[in-house]
Amino acid sequence: MKRREWIVGLVGLAVLAGLFVYEQHVHPFDWRVFLEQFAKAHWRNAAAGVACIYVGYILRAVRWAWLMRPTKRVSSLSLLGTQVMGFTAVALIGRIADPVRPYLVAKKTQVPVSVQIAVYVVERLFDAGSMAILFFTAILLSPAGTLPHQEVFNKVAQGGLIATIAGGLFLVAVRLAGKAVATLCERSLAPFSRKLARGIGEKILAFHAGLDTLRTPADFAAALAISLTMWCLITFAYVEGVSAFLPTGQAATNLLGRCLALMAGGGVASSLQLPVIGWFTQIAALQVMLGPLFGMTAETAMACAATLLAITFLSIAPIGLLWAQFEHISLRQVTKESESGTDGQQPAAAANEAVTP
């Protein structure tokens, strides 16, 4: 899978490079103007965006501790370092480092990795659901004509909202009768592909194990409230990042809806995050959207895209690296260990091996 991701990433980068060269030939890119955009930017807005992202990491630690409550009660702030270092690993090493967070939490709390993977699954479900709720609500409430191709956005929002509700109902069914749902899906898909049926059944059981962290409706409501608050902060970070490159006194119409559309596109671009290469593919994807969404020139859009990447994705890296040094943890080594040590068999021993002397 790692090799396949590298191939896809390199092909994507080559395509983007080709498009850039073609665009440079048709509409020459002025690098001097590009650099001038940074001098003209409103850096107070960018700083406010970084602050929102930092508070979001605190909320991630609070949510993880909350989801762990049925297994073990831990202090929310005691997990802050695991979140910061985990996302630093993803920013620098790529999506292959996603298991680092549950792996580090397992070491920190002495709770098996399998439990942390279940928490991670639920966390990602809440992230997807919260983002969907914010995006689809903002798009549907946007005044007519405030978004390019408004009718397309509205149709996507309506379909997405229906899909989100259906997904929520499916998760409720999995929570209440996970084994029965897994068996039903396996039997339904078995005539087409036994391997596919077995794989989906195993994933449903994994979801069921993760959803066991939500014992009561109050647990669900609290986790959803934390998630929505966190994603509101991330949205505000995008708003501030874009505002930093808008002329003083000029606000884009329906700035919130446009920034949510930008977030959704950026999220798709970051799904295959490779070391360093992924930064440029994400900047390119954001630049392509910033033009039609906010009427920015190519130079301004690229400067804004690079700043958004720094605010929302890379700003945590310096703190994460310092934190890892303080705790004598090698992020590269812990990434390798987490790839083979997330089966829950010997989490403590494997985690200790990832810590440098």
- Give me the tens of pLDDT residue by residue for the chain, a chain 357 residues long: 456 655 665 666 676 667 666 666 666 677 788 889 998 899 999 999 999 999 999 999 999 999 888 888 999 899 999 999 999 999 888 778 888 999 999 999 998 887 888 888 888 888 888 888 887 777 777 666 666 666 766 676 677 677 777 777 877 787 778 788 888 888 888 888 888 888 888 878 877 776 777 777 888 889 999 999 999 999 999 999 999 998 865 555 568 878 888 887 777 666 655 666 778 778 888 888 888 888 888 889 999 999 999 999 999 999 999 999 999 998 888 888 877 654 444 443 333 333 333
Q: Which of 267, 339, 356 is nearest to 103 (CA)?
A: 339
Residue keyed to tokens 């070391």? 275
H helices of 41-149, in order, are 43-68, 80-93, 100-109, 113-141
Domain assignment present for 227: yes
Domain assignment present for 175: yes
Domain assignment present for 243: yes
Distance, CA of 169 to CA of 173 (rounded, Å): 6
Per-residue CA distances from 164 to 19, 52, 123, 155 (Å): 34, 26, 16, 14
Number of compact structural domains in the chain = 1
Domain assignment present for 199: yes
Tokens of 54: 């930092």
Domain, as residue range, for 295: 50-71+82-337
Please give the distance of CA 46 from its chain centroid, rounded to a whole number.
19
Strand partners, 355: 329
Domain assignment present for 343: no
Distance, CA of 131 to CA of 234 (rounded, Å): 10
Tokens of 336: 């390798």
* 293 and 148 Cβ atoms separated by less than 8 Å: yes
Tokens of 74: 């831990």
Q: What is the pTM of this model?
A: 0.79
Helices 217-243 and 298-309, packing angle to 10 deg: 140
Residue 210 has what pLDDT?
Answer: 67
Q: How many CB atoms lie within 10 A of CB 240?
A: 23
Residue 349 has what pLDDT?
Answer: 39
Ramachandran region, residue 274 (left: φ > 0; alpha: ψ -120 to 50; beta: rest): beta
Domain assignment present for 277: yes
* 254 and 142 Cβ atoms separated by less than 8 Å: yes
Residue 205 has what pLDDT?
Answer: 80
Domain assignment present for 345: no
* 102 and 113 Cβ atoms separated by less than 8 Å: yes
H helices of the chain, in order, are 2-26, 31-40, 43-68, 80-93, 100-109, 113-141, 150-189, 194-211, 217-243, 255-269, 277-294, 298-309, 317-326, 331-340, 347-353
Domain assignment present for 29: no
